[in-house]
Amino acid sequence: MRRPDHRARLRRGRRRPRAGPQGPRQPGLHDLRAARPRPQGVKTIDYDRLTLGGVSDYYVSFDNVKVGEELGKGLQKCLGGKASNIAYLNGSPTDNNATLFAKGAHNILDKVADYKKAAEQAVPDWKPEKAATIFEQMYTEQHGRIDGVLAANDNLGNAAMAIVKKNGRAGKVAITGQDATLQGLQNILDGTQCMTVYKPVKQEADAAAKLAISLLKGQKGETSATVNDPQGKRDVPSVLLIPIGVFKDNVKQVTDDQFVKAADLCKGAYAARCKGAYAAKCKGAGVQ
């Protein structure tokens, strides 16, 4: 009698460096992977991005709806409860995670009666240059009457920021982001971006390793939730981690994790400014 094969195989979603699930997906990649035969009894894990229509037995990622909810809560905090016109710059329309981010954001912001959706559009392939074009059109059509921008990541937020700055309103429009990038953290300390969402990658890697080891031992594998695959019409057992909203007062959490080095915050275009007001902001945030 053949013994069952309890090997585990980790299937990693295509990612941009540190960009998490919002990086562009190579067309057709998920279909090719889903169609590949696998040895009998081998368990597979989708890592970071769920392959829609795929065959993986498990999924490990951050809770993408909660990522969106952190974005929504963050923007609400930055707007300070006043009546506001909000523009939404969502991620790529072909990225399921982007859909979940938007769902989470609307879960929070749609409940606020004083908020009006001024405009909303997905940004093809998450490209900042396309985001800049889209947001400039939004800004023009709204005659500049935009108080907040729900940008799905730091790169999209930075693109919107450039348009806001060009119109003399830098720091006067609340703009969100995601990924806790160096540029995003610099913007937060400078007061031109209100917050970002941080997803500690070590937690994600550790969770995937823990699950894989348990499967290798022939165990079922401990999960915390299920995630629906609308194309495969199934619920995938999942380990979902909790993202962290980052504002000026907790940037230090990101630098303490060495996700971004505190010393890097004062490099590049910010080097000269680190001797002045920006340095005081860094010191006040505990990162200098």
Question: Is 215 inside a domain boundary?
Answer: yes
In a shared domain, residues 185 and 102 = yes
In a shared domain, residues 59 and 74 = no
Predicted confidence (pLDDT) at residue 250 exceeds the cutoff of 60 = yes
SS in 3 state form for 128-153? Answer: HHHHHHHHHHHHHHCCCCCCEEEECC
Question: Is 77 inside a domain boundary?
Answer: yes
SS3 123: coil
Question: Is 223 inside a domain boundary?
Answer: yes
pLDDT of residue 81: 83
Q: What is the spatial order of strands in the sheet that 174-175 belongs to? A: 115-122, 84-90, 148-151, 174-175
In a shared domain, residues 103 and 187 = yes
In a shared domain, residues 124 and 190 = yes
Cα distances (angstroms) measured from residue 149 to each of 9, 44, 53, 138, 284: 40, 38, 32, 11, 26
pLDDT of residue 31: 40
Predicted confidence (pLDDT) at residue 288 exceeds the cutoff of 70 = no
Question: Is 170 inside a domain boundary?
Answer: yes
Return the minimum-mean-pLDDT range out of 88-102, 130-144, 178-192, 259-273.
259-273
Q: Print the domain residue range for 151.
A: 65-198
Predicted confidence (pLDDT) at residue 16 exceeds the cutoff of 80 = no
Question: Is 267 inside a domain boundary?
Answer: no
In a shared domain, residues 43 and 108 = no
pLDDT of residue 41: 74
Q: pLDDT, tens digit, for every residue of 39-54? A: 667 899 999 999 999 9
In a shared domain, residues 70 and 171 = yes
User: What CATH number does residue 13 fall under?
Assistant: 3.40.50.2300
Residue 273 pLDDT grade (very low, low, confident, very high; cuts 50, 70, 90): low
pLDDT of residue 11: 56
Residue 270 pLDDT grade (very low, low, confident, very high; cuts 50, 70, 90): confident
> Closest Cα to residue 189, out of 281, 256, 71, 120?
281
In angstroms, rounded to a whole number, what is the distance separating the alpha carbons of residues 148 and 129? Answer: 20
In a shared domain, residues 81 and 103 = yes
Rounded average pLDDT over 95-99? 95
Question: Is 143 inside a domain boundary?
Answer: yes
In angstroms, rounded to a whole number, what is the distance separating the alpha carbons of residues 95 and 103? Answer: 13
In angstroms, rounded to a whole number, what is the distance separating the alpha carbons of residues 223 and 129? Answer: 39
When comparing pLDDT for 286 and 216, which is higher? 216
Whole-prediction pTM value?
0.84
In a shared domain, residues 58 and 83 = no
In a shared domain, residues 112 and 46 = no
Chain mean pLDDT for the chain? 87
Q: pLDDT, tens digit, for every residue of 165-221? A: 999 999 999 999 999 999 999 999 999 999 999 999 999 999 999 999 999 999 988
Q: pLDDT, tens digit, for every residue of 127-159? A: 999 999 999 999 999 999 999 999 999 999 999
Question: Is 283 inside a domain boundary?
Answer: no
In a shared domain, residues 93 and 210 = no
Question: Is 37 inside a domain boundary?
Answer: yes
Number of domains the chain contains:
2
In a shared domain, residues 181 and 115 = yes
Tell me the backbone φ, ψ of residue 41, rounded to 5 degrees.
85, -10
In a shared domain, residues 89 and 185 = yes
Burial profile 45-76: b = 16 or more Cβ within 10 angstroms, e = fewer: bbbbbbbbebbbbbbbbbbbbbbbbbbbbbbb
